[in-house]
Structures are given as structure tokens and as C-alpha cells.
Structure 1
Amino acid sequence: MTLAELATISGKGGLFKVMAPTKSGVILESLDEAKTKIVATANHRLSLLNEISIYTTTKEGTVALEDVLKKIHAEFGNDLGVDSNSEGAELKSFLKSVLPEYDEDRVYVSDIKKLVKWYELILKYAADILTSTSEEEKK
């Protein structure tokens, strides 16, 4: 599985696996034990995870979510030391340790909470994403 196969829908918690296209949208399955299926249409704000990036203060201006997730995995593995209910200062400190150049004015605590939740879901249900290399994904 790759991040291109995972999506998030604005207003709905969690992550979804892209299953198949339909005439009016796409069939998604929740990335949890429930395996709830929904059809996302043009009315939903759907984002594929491979299209998401985090604002930085570097010349490029952003870093791909995939790079950040892999860096978190390399540095913290299964124990982040924080969760999505941690204090804002703790979450900011966590992201600063992983991505020192993140833009503190444009990346909100709510964004970091989502990042932590998504990491935990991916670790539990699609851990191969965190360990794959770009060469593997091209195959």
C-alpha cells in the first residue's frame, strides 16, 4: 500500500483506503477494524495523503507528508511519546524534534494532532508505508 491509496475526508475522522472509482466519485473503506465503506462524491473534500505536505521555513516551503511520516518512524518507531490528546506545547515540541524547520505560524496544533492520529493509524493498519523506499514504490 502507498499514501496514494489512502485518503482523508474533511469533517470525517480517520483515514480511508481508496477501493474503486464510481461514476460519481470513489468508494472508500475506513482504515480501522470497522471497515466501513462510503462513497465519496464531489460534495466531499477528499485529499489523498500523497498530496499533503507540511509548511516549512525552507526555500522549498513544504515537506511531503510521506517524508515526515518516515522520519517519525525512523526516530520514534512505535512510541511517539505523545498522542493526539497531548498538550499543544508538547505536540509542537514533538514536531520540532522531527522537523525543526516546520513553519510554526502556518502549522497549527490541530494539524499536529491529525499527523499523530494518522501516524498511529498507518502504523497499526498499513505499516509497510513507513518502511518502503521510493524505489519499491516505483515498481
Structure 2
Amino acid sequence: MEFKDIAAVSGKPGLYKVLKPSRSGVILESLDDKKSKLVVGAAQRVSLLSEISIYTLTEEGAAPLKDILHKIENEFEGDTGLEGADNDEYKAFLKHVLPEYDEERVYASDIKKLLNWYHILRKEQPELLQPQPEEGKEKSDEDKKEEKGE
């Protein structure tokens, strides 16, 4: 599974696996223990994780969600220590992970949602948070040997 296969639905908590398009919209399956299915029509806003980014003050203007989630995983490995935190602690956390984020356009509720998604992915799809080999880059003989356990 990839970030383009996971969606967030406006007004609904959690994340959803994109199963397939239907006549009236798209069929989604929740990424939790219930695995409930949901048909989302055109009236509801569905965002693929691969298309979501966070506003920054850089020239690009935004940082992809995928990159931020990988940074969080590399540094914190699941232990963000923000259970019961206040808004200032959430903002300080994101400032640590993404120093150039736009504090005027990114709200504490956005950071809470980011962390909620991170924990869902870490539990249900941990392989998404692992560093991926760069596209177009051939694996070295050493990498191939490591995969085979030699």
C-alpha cells in the first residue's frame, strides 16, 4: 500500500483505504479494527494522503505530508509524548519537526490531526513510515545480499 491508496474524508475521523471507484463515488474501508466499508459520494471531500501538504514559509510554500510523517517516525519512533498536551506543545512539536512551517496558517487542530494519522498509520500500515529506496535508483549488490539474509 502507498500514500496514494489512503484517504481522509472531510467530517469523518480516521483514515480510509481506497478500495475502488463506484458509480456514485468511491468505496473506502476504514483503517481500524472494524474494517467498515463506506461509499463516499461527490458531495463529500476526499483527500488522498499523497496530495496533502503542510504550509511552510519556504519558496515551495508547502511540505508533503509523506515527508513530515517520515521525519516524525525517524525521530520519535511512535513516542511523540503529546498525550494530553496543550496547543502550545503541539505547535512546539511541529516547529521541532518542521521549523519552517507557517504558524499563521497551520492550526493546533491540524497538528493534532497529523499526529492522529501518524499513530493510525504506525499501527495499521507501519511499512509506509519506513524509508523507501529512491525511485529510479538501482539496488547495490550489498543491498540485495542484505535482503536475502547473506
The bucket for the TM-score relative to the shorter chain is over 0.9
TM-score, normalised by the number of residues in structure 1: 0.93
- Superposition deviation, residue 135 in structure 1: 3.3
The structure with higher relative contact order (CA 8 Å, sep 6+) is 1
Inter-partner Cα distance in structure 2 for 1:21 and 1:135: 29
Q: Counterpart in 2 of 1:113? A: 112
Mapping for residues 1-139 of structure 1, pairs under 5 Å: 1-83=1-83, 85-133=84-132, 135=134
CA RMSD in angstroms, aligned pairs only = 1.6
TM-score, normalised by the number of residues in structure 2: 0.87
The percentage of aligned residue pairs carrying the same residue is 54
Opposite residue 119 of structure 2, the aligned amino acid is: E
SS of the aligned residue for 1:135 comes to: coil
Inter-partner Cα distance in structure 2 for 1:23 and 1:7: 18
Opposite residue 88 of structure 2, the aligned amino acid is: A
Q: What is the number of residues matched between the two proteins?
A: 137
Inter-partner Cα distance in structure 2 for 1:75 and 1:47: 26
| Structure number with bigger Rg | 2
- Superposition deviation, residue 126 in structure 1: 0.5
SS of the aligned residue for 2:82 comes to: coil
Task: Detail structure 1 runs of 4+ shifted over 2 Å in the superposition.
Answer: none
Inter-partner Cα distance in structure 1 for 2:85 and 2:36: 28
